[in-house]
Each structure stands twice: as C-alpha cells, then as structure tokens.
Chain A
Amino acid sequence: MKYLKYLVLGTLFGIILTKSEVISWFRIQEMFRFQAFHMYGVIGSAIVVGMISIQLIKRNHLKTMSGEPIVIADKKFNHGIWIGGFIFGLGWAITGACPGPLFAQLGSGVGGAAVMILAALAGTWTYSALREKLPY
C-alpha cells in the first residue's frame, strides 16, 4: 500500500506524456529539426513550474506528508555528465524516446518499445560493467 501513491503519480505522468505526444518519435524529430515549438514548450514550461515549486518548498521549509524535511541532493560534476549525455542524445534521436516515454509506449501497445527497453537494460548493464574503465 505504501507504493500506491507512486503508482498513481506514475500513471498520471504516463497519461500526460502520452496525451501530449511527447512519446512520439515524430515529435522528437520535429524538435531536433526545430520545426515546432511543442516539445520546447512542454519541457520549458515543465522546468519553469518545477523551479517555482522547488523555490516555494525551500522558502517555506515545507515537509513531506509524513513530516520529514524535504532534501534534494545536489548533482556533482564529472566528465560522464557530458560524454554520457552526448551518447544518450544520439540514442534519443534514434529511438525518439527517453526512458519515461519508452515505458509509456510499451503501455500504449508499441511492440518495438519492448525491444528498446531490453536494449536499454543491456546498455545500462554494459555501462555498469565497464564503469571503472570509463573516463570521468
């Protein structure tokens, strides 16, 4: 039961991704070709709303539902950030999907999404195995 809230939030998130068509390969191509504002509008307004929300949480010292203080870990820089980011970007333009949309595509009935998720798992596993040998 303690996971139900995450199932509900995940489901809402999946519905939003699907209804806004950001899980479509065609939309990602349109974005990388700078031919519509849609994707930029979705990502940009999400960031603005997220930013305002986090500021409100921090300034009002809001707590979680169970009364814990909210803490957000800072992200640390290493060279993997841009090297890995670039590699992901290559994959993003091929599959037309980042990890969230892959799961939404699978749910929407796209069979190919299962192949892409398995391949993404293989990629994550390979990274994990090679981690010590990669530049940072």
Chain B
Amino acid sequence: MLELLQNPWPWYVAGPLIGLTVPALLLVGNKALGISSSLRHVCAACVPAGIPFLTYNWRAEMWNLVFVLGIALGGFLGYQVMGHPEVVGISPETVHDLKTQLHLTDFTGLLPRELFALDNLANWKGWVFMVLGGFLVGFGTRYAGGCTSGHAISGLSNLQWVSLVAVIGFFAGGLVMTWVVYPLLF
C-alpha cells in the first residue's frame, strides 16, 4: 500500500480521482472547478488599477484562492513527502526527440533544468520558457475564459460545446508550438 502511494500513479487511478473533484466541489459548495480564475482574483486583489475587469468583489471568490493554496500544499506533500522517482518515466521516443531536437541532456526532476533553472533567466531560454510561456498561459486562459480544469474537465463534463472549441484551441496551440516553433527555436 505504502509503495502504491509512493510510486507515480497510473492514469486510471489519477484521472477518475481528478474527475471526482468536479462533483465534490459542486456538492460541497456549488463551485465549478476552474483554476485560472485564481490568477484574475490575485490581480483584482493586488493591482486592480481601475480596470473594469479587475474591479469586482474578489473576496467572494476566496474559496478559489484557498483551493489553489491547497494545490501548492498538495504539490509539496505529493512530491517531497510522499516521494518521487528521480526521473519522470516518459517514453523512450520522447527522450530521444528531446535529446536530438532540443539538445536536452538532464532528464531528472519534473521539468528540465536546462530550460527552467532560475539561472536561465540570464539567457533567452529562461525568458522564453518561463516568462513568455507563463505570460501566454495567463493571457490565453483568461481570454478563453478557462484552462484545462475549467474547460477541458469541468466544461466537457457538463457537455458544453463551447469548451470543446476551447480544448481544440488548446491542442492546436500546443501542437503548433511543439511541431512548428520548437524546431525553429533550437
């Protein structure tokens, strides 16, 4: 049992548990699962700057910020306390592609240090991968009105065709970046 908790969880365990978060939030407080909204609430709380979209009672959405705080706590417990393998067990094909196309050599950790270590902010890689990437995530999710949790999981679970459009957009963007932009960058 302990070993089961320590090892990475297979999709058929994790996926259904993620799915159950949708009814859990509804039953507990009539809340729709959605995480990117928390970014808006933080902006509204810290730097509203008179912008109409950031001028609302963000305190009424406090549950969302607490949920996100929980996610960070869960990240700590799930990784540091429950343990983790040195290397994420991705497919050999992916390792091969990342070695040959992106020239990565270090596959330890959750993200490649060669791109995401803080000292990369001294060169273009850090600015593209952390700053530009994060910016696009924050800009795009709000423009689309949701992210993977709000559209893909919550929205599709509730049979919202609008969310299907959003998810197709997510994938189109991801495929263009991976297959078209990455080869140009490296």
Which residues from chain A contact B143 at a C-beta distance below 8 Å? 80, 83-84, 87-88, 127, 134
Main SS of chain B's interface residues? helix
- 29 CB-based A-B contacts, threshold 8 Å: A6-B67, A10-B74, A13-B71, A16-B17, A16-B18, A19-B82, A26-B98, A28-B174, A32-B174, A39-B11, A45-B12, A51-B159, A65-B28, A74-B160, A75-B162, A77-B162, A86-B176, A90-B174, A90-B177, A91-B133, A91-B134, A91-B136, A119-B130, A119-B134, A121-B43, A124-B138, A127-B138, A131-B51, A131-B52
Number of A interface residues at 8 Å Cβ cutoff, please give it.
113
- Do the beta carbons of A13 and B18 come within 8 Å of each other? yes
Contact with A along B122-165 (1 / 0, CB 8 A): 00001011111111111111111111110111111111111101
Whole-angstrom distance between the Cβ of A14 and the nearest chain B Cβ:
2
Given contacts A19-B9, A80-B143, A108-B80, is CB(A90)–CB(B110) below 8 Å?
no
Q: Which of A1-50 contact B (CB under 8 A)?
A: 3, 5-33, 35-50
CA distance A45 to B13 in the complex (A): 9
Separation of A21 and B85 alpha carbons in the complex (Å): 10
Task: Provide the residues of chain A in CB contact with B24, threshold 8 Å.
Answer: 9
Number of interface residues of B (CB under 8 A): 131
Are A13 and B21 in touch, CB under 8 angstroms? yes
Q: Do B69 and A10 have beta carbons less than 8 Å apart? A: yes
Q: Indicate if the CB atoms of A13 and B74 lie closer than 8 Å.
A: yes
Which residues of chain B in 29-67 are interfacial with respect to chain A, using CB atoms and an 8 Å cutoff?
Answer: 29-32, 35-36, 38-40, 42-43, 47, 49, 51-54, 62-64, 66-67
Could you count the A-B residue pairs with CB atoms below 8 Å apart for me: how many are there?
Answer: 508
Chain A interface main SS type: helix
Q: Told that A41-B12, A128-B53 touch, could you supply 18 new A-B pairs with CB distance under 8 A?
A: A6-B28, A12-B21, A13-B18, A16-B18, A16-B78, A20-B13, A46-B15, A73-B32, A87-B144, A88-B136, A91-B133, A92-B148, A92-B170, A99-B36, A100-B68, A112-B111, A122-B134, A125-B49
Min CB–CB distance A42 → chain B (angstroms):
4
Q: Which of A72, A85, A112 contacts B118 (CB 8 A)?
A: A112
Leading 7 A-B pairs by shortest Cβ distance: A14-B74, A89-B173, A10-B70, A85-B169, A84-B143, A49-B19, A123-B138
Residue of B21, B82, B93 contacting most chain A CB atoms (<10 Å)? B21
Q: Which residues in A have their C-beta under 8 angstroms from that of B14?
A: 16-17, 19-20, 22, 42
Contact yes or no, B169 A82, CB < 8 A? yes
Distance (Å) between the CB of B116 and the closest chain A CB? 4
CB-contact partner of A104 in B22, B78, B94, B116, under 8 A: B78
For the complex formed, measure the closest distance between the CB of B155 and the CB atoms of chain A, giving whole angstroms: 6
What's the nearest-Cβ distance from chain B to residue A56, in Å? 8
B184 within 8 A of A: no
- Taking a contact as CB atoms under 8 Å apart, the answer to whether A93 and B145 are in contact is no
Most A CB contacts (10 A, CB to CB) among B32, B93, B143 go to B143
